[in-house]
Amino acid sequence: MSVNEHFENEREPRMGSTGAVAKAFPLRIPLALGAISLAMDALLRVVLVFAFGSRVDVPTLELGSILVRGLLNDLVVLPAMLLPVATALFILPPRVRASLPGRFVVVLLVAASVFGRLYLSFIEYYFFDEFSSRLNLVAVDYLMSPTEVMVNIWESYPVGRVLALTGVATAVALFVLRGALTTDLEAPASGARRFSFLAIHVTLAVALPALVPLDILAMHEPRADQMSYNGVASFVEALRTNDLSYSDYYRMLPERRAFAIVRNDLLEPGVQWSGRAASDLRRDHAASRSSLAGRNVVVILEESLGCEHAGVCGGKGGLTPNLDRIAANGIVWTSAWATGTRTVRGLEAVITSLPPIPSRSIVKRPGSENIANWGQVMQLAGYHTSFLYGGYGTFDNMNHFFASNGFAVSDRAEIENAKFSNIWGVSDEDLFAHAVDYFDARAAERRPFFSLILTTSNHKPFTFREGVPGVPAEGGGRKAGVRYADFALGEFMREASHHSWYGNTVFVVLGDHGSRVYGHGEIPLPSYRIPVVIFGSGVEPGVLSVPSSQIDVAPTMLGLLGIPYSAPFYGRDVLAHPDPDRPIFVSHNHDVGMLVGDRLAVLGLQRSSAVFRYDRRADSQFLLAPDSALIDRATAAYESAFLVFSRRQYR
């Protein structure tokens, strides 16, 4: 072929109409894929509003606003989503694009684009059902643990049917697009024009998401805003801010003032400061005479056990008869709160008594080795400390966290001959049987022990062994999970009562978080209410009705045991010093909050802050005028927690 002939093949034909230009340039496929993506996004929002709107207080009347705001959000990320296909169409010369290998590459990219967009819609539907949110930090965390999460998804959701349906829909889409594919693959556009279009497309793909914030169209109605967001954009934002710098994104006070506020909040009657430095939060707690001195302590952190299902704090349906029976002889906390909606947040709060620093739990952060924690105090008091888990503790960095803080770790790898297991670990029955053997060995050493047991069974896919009363082996759902967890707890307590160490042991049973994210407001507070029950040898039954939190468990138990210690814990002994204005710290995605009485101060990204009045009966949050004192108090707590942890001063 001569140079002139090659130039004629590459040169764009002279055509006057728009249709002719489209035929002469590979635009039909990007335009068609863009239309499919926008249509799927709009359809997903319609489904979310009608499926979950009543549950999250989003009336169908808001659908129009959600669709309009959603369309604008979708247009911002659309060029980036179309970039792979557009790049292939624009960068390949016409002869290469029209060849068999070229056709294969382009058709494969188009098929993957259509399939991925359709499948993502299903993922977002199920994610919203569980977390009342578009893809967020939870999705990022799941991505970091692919083995457990992927198998769990396969076992918990109709993945096979969804894949099949998505595959059929993709095939139909390719059939409908066959004409446009042929046109684009054969379009003889010039190289200069192709690269000009590619440059424009790349510029839009990079610039639009960078210049237009995810929440620029937010109406400050959290669930309606979530429905209007673009799921891909919210996931990328979560990924980008997964390890953000607190000082760059959140409201801060002058450091000396922040610590002064916190020190004023933390000091209790009869407690002395360990040091004089403004940032030193350690306090000296004197020994006290106690009938519980020297008792073993077993903390059972129950997976996903919230007050919506636990009878001891208002749950309906009689799902926890064993816990309810146990609680009759113990101390029941009727207004206890979790700090987050993930297990690592519960572990962090119970063990370290630290507020939930956004956006990642310190269990998964670098620098969490040898920090102040409950186990450290117990070791200094002569206790053997351990962490027992039914799954593999490499998940969520748990083994490293506990081992680097002085705990002996025993997980699924050491549990043999399990009766039943799934991807999350052995059944609670198997875990508790292992715990009994483990405690027998500790008792034989004639040394008091402190142990944290983390259960796994009350979790999707909700599969259990055959023969448990009222619990189907498969398909029982959340209620079956709670019934089984309670059954296993009851069996553990019955078995433990026959062992020598039982009469010298105090037990603490509490939830790591609620069963799912639900409720209204910036931070959906009903999701955070959990049962806490302390019982065992020498424990006098009672009820604690004042607000309390997971971060108060360690100081309260240390007070019951009469153990002297020095630590910078943010929690307090709520039995010795009950306070109706006790601050409750909670985290949700990127937001953190402090609940005091019925007022909730919320701190968010871009140094935002707001105060709401929380109506617990109606589960409503009403925006109030700014309360600088409350906002400063919340700011000081989270700022100081971030500073002492990041500077390795939480010792």
Q: How confident is the model at residue 2 (pLDDT cuts 50, 70, 90)?
A: very low
Question: The whole model's pTM is what?
Answer: 0.80
pLDDT attached to residue 520: 66
End of a domain among 194, 215, 240? 240
pLDDT attached to residue 496: 97
| Letter string b/e over residues 355-373, b meaning 16 or more CB atoms within 10 A of that residue's CB | bbbbbbbbbbeeebeebbb
What pLDDT, in 10s, does the model give residues 22-54?
Answer: 445 788 889 999 999 999 999 999 999 999 888
Whether 565 shows a pLDDT value over 80: the answer reads yes
Answer yes or no: do 227 and 275 share one domain.
no
DSSP one-letter code for 367: T
Asked if 299 contacts 451 with a C-beta cutoff of 8 angstroms, the reply is yes
Burial class (CB in 10 A: 0-12, 13-18, 19+), 272: exposed
Q: Which long-range contacts (CB under 8 A, 24 or more apart) does 594-598 make?
A: 594/630, 594/633, 594/634, 594/637, 594/638, 595/337, 595/525, 595/547, 596/630, 596/633
DSSP assignment of 211-222, as one string? Answer: HS-TTTT--S-H
Answer yes or no: do 474 and 565 share one domain.
yes
Residue 631 lies in a domain: yes
**Is the sign of the CA dihedral 110, 116, 122, 127 positive or negative?**
negative
CB atoms within 10 A of CB 467: 8
46: region left, alpha or beta (phi > 0 left; psi from -120 to 50 alpha): alpha
Answer yes or no: do 332 and 224 share one domain.
no
Residue 247 lies in a domain: no
CB atoms within 10 A of CB 194: 22
What pLDDT, in 10s, does the model give residues 205-249?
Answer: 999 988 888 777 877 677 788 899 998 988 888 777 666 778 878
End of a domain among 189, 210, 240? 240
Among 536, 544, 614, which residue's Cα sits nearest to residue 576?
A: 544
The tokens 């022990």 sit on which residue? 449
pLDDT attached to residue 242: 66
Answer yes or no: do 286 and 193 share one domain.
no
CA 143 – CA 156 distance, rounded (Å): 17
pLDDT attached to residue 241: 67
Whether 20 shows a pLDDT value over 80: the answer reads no
pLDDT attached to residue 295: 97
Range with top average pLDDT, 104-118, 147-161, 484-498: 484-498
Answer yes or no: do 172 and 277 share one domain.
no
pLDDT attached to residue 7: 35
| Letter string b/e over residues 330-345, b meaning 16 or more CB atoms within 10 A of that residue's CB | bbbbbbbbbbbbbbbb
What pLDDT, in 10s, does the model give residues 533-559?
Answer: 999 989 999 999 999 999 999 999 999
List CB contacts of 20: < 8 A, sequence separation 6 or more. Answer: 13
pLDDT attached to residue 240: 73
Residue 250 lies in a domain: no
Whether 201 shows a pLDDT value over 80: the answer reads yes
CA 634 to chain centre: 21
Among 635, 647, 579, which residue's Cα sits nearest to residue 268?
A: 579
Residue 249 lies in a domain: no
Tokens encoding 414 = 């050491």
Percent of the chain whose predicted confidence (pLDDT) is above 70: 94
Single-letter residue type at 566: S
Q: How confident is the model at residue 10 (pLDDT cuts 50, 70, 90)?
A: very low
Please state at what angle helix 178-186 crosses helix 159-176, rounded to 10 degrees. 60
Tokens encoding 557 = 């138990």
Q: How confident is the model at residue 5 (pLDDT cuts 50, 70, 90)?
A: very low
Residue 94 lies in a domain: yes
Asked if 376 contacts 406 with a C-beta cutoff of 8 angstroms, the reply is yes
In degrees and rounded to multiples of 5, residue 285 shows phi and psi of: -105, 120
What pLDDT, in 10s, does the model give residues 377-401?
Answer: 999 999 999 999 999 998 889 999 9
Answer yes or no: do 175 and 259 share one domain.
no
Answer yes or no: do 236 and 317 share one domain.
no
Cis bond before residue 500 (omega within 30° of 0): no
End of a domain among 240, 264, 287? 240
Asked if 337 contacts 346 with a C-beta cutoff of 8 angstroms, the reply is no
What pLDDT, in 10s, does the model give residues 110-128?
Answer: 999 999 999 999 999 988 8
Tokens encoding 528 = 């955070």
The number of C-alpha atoms within 13 Å of 636 and in the hemisphere containing its C-beta is 24
In this prediction, residues 432-450 reach a mean pLDDT of 97
Answer yes or no: do 337 and 309 share one domain.
yes
What pLDDT, in 10s, does the model give residues 57-109?
Answer: 788 888 999 999 999 999 999 999 999 998 888 888 888 888 888 889 989 99
Q: How confident is the model at residue 297 (pLDDT cuts 50, 70, 90)?
A: very high
The CATH number for 540's domain is 3.40.720.10
Whether 21 shows a pLDDT value over 80: the answer reads no
73-82, 315-324, 470-479, 517-526: least confidently modelled range:
517-526
Q: How confident is the model at residue 15 (pLDDT cuts 50, 70, 90)?
A: very low
Tokens encoding 87 = 């790049």
Residue 262 lies in a domain: yes
Whether 339 shows a pLDDT value over 90: the answer reads yes
Answer yes or no: do 605 and 465 share one domain.
yes
Q: What is the mean pLDDT of the chain?
A: 89
Q: How confident is the model at residue 304 (pLDDT cuts 50, 70, 90)?
A: very high
Answer yes or no: do 227 and 288 share one domain.
no
Rg (CA), the chain: 28
Residue 246 lies in a domain: no
Domain of residue 217: give its range: 3-240
Note the maximum CA span of the chain: 101
Give the helix ranges, DSSP H, for 245-360: 246-249, 255-266, 321-327, 343-352
pLDDT attached to residue 347: 97
CB atoms within 10 A of CB 50: 12
Among 43, 236, 230, which residue's Cα sits nearest to residue 139?
A: 236
Among 524, 638, 590, 641, which residue's Cα sits nearest to residue 240?
A: 590
Answer yes or no: do 260 and 311 share one domain.
yes
Asked if 256 contacts 466 with a C-beta cutoff of 8 angstroms, the reply is no
Q: Is 452 helix (H, G, I), strand (E, B) or coil?
A: strand
Answer yes or no: do 221 and 267 share one domain.
no
pLDDT attached to residue 95: 86
Residue 248 lies in a domain: no
